[in-house]
Amino acid sequence: MFRWCCNAIFHPIHHTPATMTGAAMEDALASFATHERFMSVAIEEARLAAEAGDVPIGAVVVHDGRIVGRGRNQVEVLNDPTAHAEILALGAAAAGIGDWRLDACTLYSTLEPCTMCSGAILLARPRLIVYGTRDPRAGAVSSTARLLEQNPYNLDFEVVEGILASECAGLLKEFFGRLRRGDVERPGGDKGR
């Protein structure tokens, strides 16, 4: 089952035989207040990224109602093209719970995951993905591709988008505005995510 939830509107767009775990289903039915609470933490991570000169994108992984992994975009700080918020949060969560299989977890990200991060999601298997705002340029969940919808692993995912979307997008807009004005000191130059 792949179900799509855009802000307060629950809109099923694709169905496969339902094999979703109970925990994932519970997560899917969690209140938007809960989503907003965890997205707020992801936004905190995004702010930290901006303070360090990286594009403000943050992510957290939640298991059993508590945060088990956090990440923020650190491409510039670490000079690592793979240091996206979601990748770092998934890695931290696997280390935190002692299992790379994150089936019962939820991934929150301020921005729609890219191709690389969608690949990591397929491998780590958090069945509920919640993101703030779409990325028309590189998003691979809904914008440029739908990599989670029909995947080679035959895994079921649910996606919720639009949680605190204006805050998530506003951070990016504000950052790129400062970048254009030359108000951002970036450790690795002026390119990157």
Angstrom distance (rounded) from CA 72 to CA 121: 16
Instruction: Report the distance separating Cα 160 and Cα 55, nearest Å.
Output: 22
Q: Under a CB-based contact definition with an 8 Å cutoff, are residues 42 and 110 in contact?
A: yes
Please provide the size of the chain in residues: 193
Catalytic residue (choose from 45, 76, 86, 158):
86
Q: Residue with structure tokens 């770092």? A: 88
For Zn ion, the binding residue among 104, 117, 140, 163 (CB under 5 A) is 117
Would you say 20 or 118 has its CB closer to Zn ion? 118
| Stretch near Zn ion under the rule CB under 5 A, chosen from 28-36, 62-70, 78-86, 102-110 | 78-86
Tell me whether residue 174 is one of the annotated catalytic residues.
no
Q: Is 72 in the site for Zn ion (CB under 5 A)?
A: no
Q: Out of 114, 124, 130, 159, name the contact with Zn ion by CB under 5 A.
A: 114
Alpha carbon 78 to chain centroid distance? 19
Residues numbered 35 to 64 that lie near Zn ion (CB under 5 A) are none
- Which of 63, 70, 84, 125 binds Zn ion (CB under 5 A)? It is 84
Q: Round the CA-based radius of gyration of the chain to a whole number and report it.
A: 16
Catalytic sites, residue numbers: 86
Binding residues for Zn ion, per CB under 5 A? Answer: 84, 114, 116-117
